[in-house]
Amino acid sequence: MTKSCTQPFLKIFDTDINEIISFARWHVFRSDRPESEWKGILSRGWDEGTNVEAANEFYYAIHKKREKVMGGKAQLCMQDRGHLFDNFR
């Protein structure tokens, strides 16, 4: 993964058990961006065995909705999140 200044990570650390129990990656755009930075869909690489047609259709629909609603406006958007369920209470 490429490190990006717009994608900070947040981790939740449980001090009772001294372990990370959750995490999230955000996109933070502090100011509006020109259309050239956000318009259009980047190609994606899918894992072997993925139904590429269905995955692309799903991804395209989400991307088009995000373009319509947010465009290049300043925003905060959660990209990924996860919980380490063995430690989650």
Model pLDDT, residue 52: 92
Going from N- to C-terminal start, the domains of the chain cover 1-31+74-89, 35-72
Segment 30-59 shows an average pLDDT of 86
Mean pLDDT of the chain: 80
In degrees rounded to 5, what are phi and psi of residue 86?
-65, -30
pLDDT in tens, 6-35: 777 888 888 998 888 888 888 788 889 888
Asked if 43 contacts 66 with a C-beta cutoff of 8 angstroms, the reply is no
Beta bridge partners of 24: 10, 81
pTM exceeds 0.75 for this model: no
